[in-house]
């Protein structure tokens, strides 16, 4: 089923609509021309975005209530790439519904998504407080090293080198690049959360996925990876 069949979607509640709108707003803050890939099925919708510079995918999922005009009996199946800005404008936070914008030709990343299944939990991930502390320490280190640079070397190339060195570090022995944690905080996935909803780290082949109650960050850590779609079961 394509975007020409399903014309509109409605989320299970307005809080999920507000969270999805906030996520799209953060993506647009980084890139006003951002595109997102939207998949729906099994009673949920997943929106994939790629915040610039982090080299990760950010995924926000939400439960569906029903579908709008053009719906068919049975589960919704939808896979379309649209403008993040147009999708944001379409969301009605009072009803939780939104019409689908026209499909666009997406950037290359929209053709390579994490696999649907085969995810296994990776041990050793700190809690959300520990992850936020790791990001804060890395930001402080970057600023300190940047300020210590001689004026003649304080240029974009040197700052990029320092940034790559810091953000390519892994979180403990998990293999998760620190830039993935930074991305999670930047798009609002690491904000304070209840203790009964911890963060988790999953692996499937060459992909790793940092999962929080507010969304997931997926990063390709090596190998050929695969083309497919991440499960749209809400995180």
**Residue 91, domain member (yes or no):** no
**Residue 38, domain member (yes or no):** no
**Residue 50, domain member (yes or no):** no
**Residue 7, domain member (yes or no):** no
Is the four-CA dihedral 98, 16, 39, 178 of positive or negative sign?
A: positive
Which residues of the chain, if any, have pLDDT below 50? 1-4, 68-74, 76, 223-235
Count up the domains in the chain and report the number: 1
pLDDT of 85 reads: 97
**Residue 233, domain member (yes or no):** no
117-135 pLDDT tens trace: 899 999 999 999 999 999 9
Q: Give the residue numbers spanning the domain of 167.
A: 123-196
**Residue 159, domain member (yes or no):** yes
Joined tokens for residue 91: 């969301």
pTM for the model = 0.86
**Residue 63, domain member (yes or no):** no
**Residue 31, domain member (yes or no):** no
pLDDT of 155 reads: 87
Q: Using an 8 Å Cβ cutoff, are 10 and 96 in contact?
A: yes
């Amino acid at each position: 089923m394509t975007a020409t069949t399903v014309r509109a979607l409605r989320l299970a509640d307005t809080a999920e609509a507000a969270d999805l709108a906030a996520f799209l707003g953060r993506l647009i803050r980084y890139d006003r021309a951002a595109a997102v890939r939207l998949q729906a099925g099994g009673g949920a919708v997943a929106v994939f975005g790629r915040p610039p510079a982090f080299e990760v995918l950010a995924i926000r999922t939400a439960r569906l209530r029903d579908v709008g005009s053009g719906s068919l009996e049975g589960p919704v199946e939808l896979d379309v790439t649209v403008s993040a800005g147009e999708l944001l404008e379409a969301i009605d936070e009072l009803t939780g519904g939104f019409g689908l914008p026209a499909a666009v030709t997406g950037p290359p990343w929209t053709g390579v998504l994490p696999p649907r299944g085969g995810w296994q939990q990776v041990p050793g991930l700190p809690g959300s407080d520990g992850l936020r502390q790791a990001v804060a320490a890395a930001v402080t280190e970057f600023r300190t090293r940047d300020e210590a640079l001689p004026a003649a070397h304080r240029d974009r190339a040197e700052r990029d080198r320092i940034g790559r060195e810091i953000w390519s570090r892994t979180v403990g022995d998990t293999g998760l690049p620190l830039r993935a944690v930074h991305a999670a905080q930047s798009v609002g996935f690491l904000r304070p959360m209840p203790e009964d909803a911890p963060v988790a780290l999953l692996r499937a082949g060459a992909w790793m996925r940092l999962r929080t109650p507010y969304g997931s960050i997926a990063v390709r850590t090596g190998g050929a990876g695969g083309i497919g779609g991440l499960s749209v079961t809400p995180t």
